[in-house]
Amino acid sequence: MKSVFKYFLHTFVALIIITSCNGQQKKPSKNKNEKIMTTGTEVATFANGCFWCTEAVFQEVEGVLKVESGYTAGKVANPTYEAVCTGLTGHAECLQITYDPKRVSFEDLLEVFWGTHDPTTLNRQGNDVGTQYRSGIYYHNQEQKTKAEAYKKQLEDAHTFKDPIVTEILPFTIFYSAEGYHQNYFKEHPEQGYCAMVIRPKVEKFRKHFKEKLKH
């Protein structure tokens, strides 16, 4: 009886959290390709695990101008981190990456994306488990869709990974910026336990294997 009670209590609390999200004043970012083209920059939206880790990696890529952690591909408006962590909002932790296509191509970003996480583990990256940690590419236009699908097929045909790739490739819908304390997390908290034990080794591995893509 106690376990049943705990289950219903957990579900009830989670629903309260999700419902409360709709009252949060969070500004979503929709597809702004028209504005992007006039400014000479483009945007990529990737989900490949904990955004603390992925943000730290993409911040070091030459040609990347801005990296923002947030949530996408969910079914609830204005999600909070606590609500996303329940797995009931459907969101993925993701990055909104603004980059200069003259300095780094979308294919280069795809190479870093697939080379810095495991795209074969469903709803999981290492010890981070949950649908919010799924692997996903959310394309902003047909060109990104075509390139992402072609790159995925190339990896599959080459049997780059032992197991099947489970990365979802879906149209971008909306992006919600994560709470302020999530932004620039590794740089702000380099000595924090998770940063020191998980993120730093990941960044160091990236620097070693992607030297040619590092910022000068």
CATH number of the CATH domain containing 75? 3.30.1060.10
SS3 171: strand
- Residue 70 CA to residue 33 CA, distance in Å, equals 19
Query: Token pair of 159, please?
Result: 């049997």
Q: What is the pTM assigned to this prediction?
A: 0.84
**Helix count (H) and strand count (E) of the chain?**
9, 9
pLDDT of residue 39: 74
pLDDT along the chain (216 residues), means of 10: 40 43 49 50 97 97 98 96 96 98 98 97 95 98 98 97 97 97 96 94 96 93
- Its domain, for residue 203, covers 2-213
pLDDT of residue 1: 44
Residue with tokens 């028209």: 34
184: left (phi over 0), alpha (psi -120 to 50) or beta: left
Q: How far is CA 214 from CA 44, 62, 117, 204, in A?
A: 18, 5, 18, 12
Residues assigned a catalytic role? 50
Domain count, the chain: 1
